[in-house]
């Protein structure tokens, strides 16, 4: 089975990104997964409202054929419980990054 894993291209608005991903659904006959953008903490925490708005727009408007993986909720729970950490409020530490990767693989291989 083939997979197409997308990372949000920088500087695209939510509507541009929705059009981009939905266009890929029409181009490719393979499963497409969208993993929500994760939260920030520390002095970057004020960005979370923008992250949530972006994630919400995509979750609501992506083609139903796109499987959405809720990384934001997974990571937020880990940060709130102290299980996960960032190095600077924006970039996750090694353990957290590894856990996110394993979560993503689990969601793709065991939907």
CA distances 15 to 51, 91, 105, Å, are 14, 25, 27
Q: What is the pLDDT of residue 4?
A: 56
Enclosing H/E stretch for 68: strand 66-69
Q: What is the pLDDT of residue 65?
A: 94
Nearest-angstrom CA–CA distance, 52 and 54: 5
Residues of the chain with pLDDT under 50: none
């Amino acid at each position: 089975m083939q997979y197409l894993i997308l990372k949000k291209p920088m500087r695209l608005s939510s509507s541009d990104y929705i059009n981009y991903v939905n266009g890929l659904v029409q181009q490719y006959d393979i499963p497409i997964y969208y993993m929500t953008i994760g939260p920030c903490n520390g002095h970057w925490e004020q960005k979370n409202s923008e992250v949530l708005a972006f994630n919400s727009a995509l979750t609501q408007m992506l083609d139903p054929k796109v499987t959405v993986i809720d990384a934001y909720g997974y990571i937020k729970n880990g940060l709130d419980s102290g299980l996960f950490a960032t190095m600077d409020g924006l970039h996750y530490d090694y353990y957290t990054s590894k856990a996110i990767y394993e979560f993503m693989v689990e969601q793709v291989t065991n939907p």
